[in-house]
């Protein structure tokens, strides 16, 4: 019963019932990325994404970023973009997680480069 109400009112738990109905009746599936996100558009030109898993805007890879923001780019016309060996896989925003960058992550204390004055 609780999941039924979440579909009506809670947008951060995937798509709401309104988004689901809009996608079914008016959405045309344009493509799917390697993370499982699905990209849709309708006849009037509106574009949206249905995220797989947690909703986070940083989960849109660069291949689809230009498309979702109506930016004409050569990437939009290529279906399979070649990946180079030096390219890292896409990661979502890691802020606030254990994987977040911290300059002194492995050390327990910060080593000062100066000494305090003693009176």
Q: Can you give the pLDDT at residue 58?
A: 81
* The two three-digit tokens of residue 49, written as one number: 């994404």
What pLDDT is recorded for position 75? Answer: 52
What residues have CB less than 8 Å from 15, skipping those under 6 apart?
23, 50
Q: What pLDDT does 79 receive?
A: 52
Assigned token pair, 101: 């960058």
Tokens linked to 112: 């000062």
pLDDT at 44: 92
Cα 99 to Cα 16, 81, 93, 94: the distances in Å are: 30, 28, 10, 6
Query: What pLDDT shows up at residue 14?
Result: 66
Per-residue pLDDT of the chain (119 residues; tens, 9 = 90+): 566 666 556 555 667 777 888 888 999 999 998 889 999 999 999 999 998 877 888 888 877 888 888 887 655 555 556 777 888 877 778 888 888 887 776 665 566 677 777 76
CA-wise closest residue to 30 among 39, 21, 22? 39
Residue 93: what pLDDT?
A: 80
- The pLDDT value given to residue 54: 78
| pLDDT value for 71 | 81
Strand partners of residue 39? 31, 49
CA-to-CA distance for 53 and 72, rounded, in angstroms?
Answer: 28
Which neighbouring-strand residues pair with 40?
A: 29, 48
Which tokens belong to 92?
Answer: 């979502």
Tokens 């849109």 identify what position? 60
**What is residue 47's predicted lDDT score, i.e. its pLDDT?**
93
């Amino acid at each position: 019963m609780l999941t039924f109400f979440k579909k009506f009112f809670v947008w951060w738990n995937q798509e709401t019932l309104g988004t689901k109905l809009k996608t079914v009746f008016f959405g045309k599936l344009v493509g799917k990325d390697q993370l499982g996100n699905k990209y849709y558009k309708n006849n009037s030109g509106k574009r949206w994404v249905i995220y797989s898993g947690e909703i986070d805007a940083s989960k849109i890879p660069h291949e689809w970023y230009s498309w979702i923001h109506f930016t004409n780019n050569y990437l939009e016309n290529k279906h399979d973009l070649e990946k180079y060996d030096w390219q890292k896989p896409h990661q979502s925003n890691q802020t606030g997680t254990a994987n977040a960058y911290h300059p002194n992550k492995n050390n327990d204390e910060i080593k000062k480069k100066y000494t305090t004055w003693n009176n």
